Structure 1
Amino acid sequence: MEPSGQTVTKKQRPVNLDLRTIRQPVAAIASILHRVSGVITLFSLAILLWLLKSSLSSETGFLEVVDILDGFFVWFILWGMLTALAYHIVGGIRHLIMDAGYGEDLESGALSAKVALGVTAVLSVLAGIMVW
């Protein structure tokens, strides 16, 4: 009971703990992917800087890096790194435009998320063509 003498009833709210049934809006998915692509880009930068350092250290280091980069799996990872970087840049531009006051409402936010995903898909295909 509350101090005023009234009984407090707890609201029975529906609880859905099955994450497979929760449908996120496209703007939320775009925001989550922007954060994930930022983390991937951070780790990619560390790997690429290590490869650069190794390749510039000596002729032997360069040949070791060439051997590392000689394979489909490594090129696939590089394509993924480029795709993550492209999405992070496109998503960052989207966020900057929204910070400027454009596209803040629900409909235009969803549209800008779809455009960002579409532009990234095109850039990903172009990166795939460049890598292979």
Structure 2
Amino acid sequence: MKKQRPVNLELTTISFPAAAISSILHRVSGVITLISVALLVWALAVSLQSAEGFAMVHDLFTSFIAKFIAWGILTALSYHLLAGIRHMCMDLGYFEELNSGRISAQITFVLTIVLSVLAGVWLW
């Protein structure tokens, strides 16, 4: 008996629902946040060692690229926070249906965009 199985699964043709994209991005933002903590702890340690270290970190963090990286860190952190709240609400039994899960994921995306714009305005 021959089973009908896909020979080549094209991942680019799969349309993921908003809730799946939200879950994947939550994990990615967690990794970005974890890596950025190491960078920020290093900057804190160098800035507290001496006045020269503080001046070096200050000069480093006032450049455009550093502000862009800080904006990315703040965006990842805000998304991770909002998606974490969404996941905790789902653990409590809310937003578990397909439609409400999709809407809560879209709300998370919109609020992240708003917080990202506010972080950009604050940094620049």
Bin of the TM-score, shorter chain as denominator length: over 0.9
Q: Distance in 1 between matches of 2:72 and 2:94?
A: 30
Q: Which of the numbers 86, 98, 120 marks the counterpart of 2:78?
A: 86
Deviations 1:81-101 (A, max 9, x none): 000000000000000000000
Superposed, which structure 2 residues align to 1:17-36 within 5 Å? 17-36=9-28
Q: Distance in 1 between matches of 2:8 and 2:119?
A: 40
The amino acid across from 2:95 in the alignment is G
Equivalent residue number for residue 88 of structure 2: 96
SS of 1:76's partner is: helix
Structure 1 gaps, min length 5 = 1-8
Give the structure with higher Rg (CA): 1
Closer, same or farther: CA 117–16 of 1 in aligned 2, 3 Å: farther
SS of 2:93's partner is: coil
The amino acid across from 2:51 in the alignment is E
Q: Distance in 1 between matches of 2:98 and 2:48?
A: 49
User: TM-score normalized by structure 2?
Assistant: 0.95
Q: What's the Cα RMSD here?
A: 1.0
Instruction: Pick the structure with more helix per residue.
Output: 2
Deviation at 1:20, TM superposition (A): 1.7
Deviation at 1:30, TM superposition (A): 0.4
The amino acid across from 1:78 in the alignment is A
Structure 2 gaps, min length 5 = none
Superposed, which structure 2 residues align to 1:1-132 within 5 Å? 9-132=1-124
Kindly, what percent of the aligned residue pairs are identical?
59
Deviation at 1:67, TM superposition (A): 1.6
Deviation at 1:69, TM superposition (A): 1.1
User: TM-score normalized by structure 1?
Assistant: 0.90
Kindly tell me the number of residue pairs found equivalent between the two proteins: 124
Q: Distance in 1 between matches of 2:25 and 2:44?
A: 27
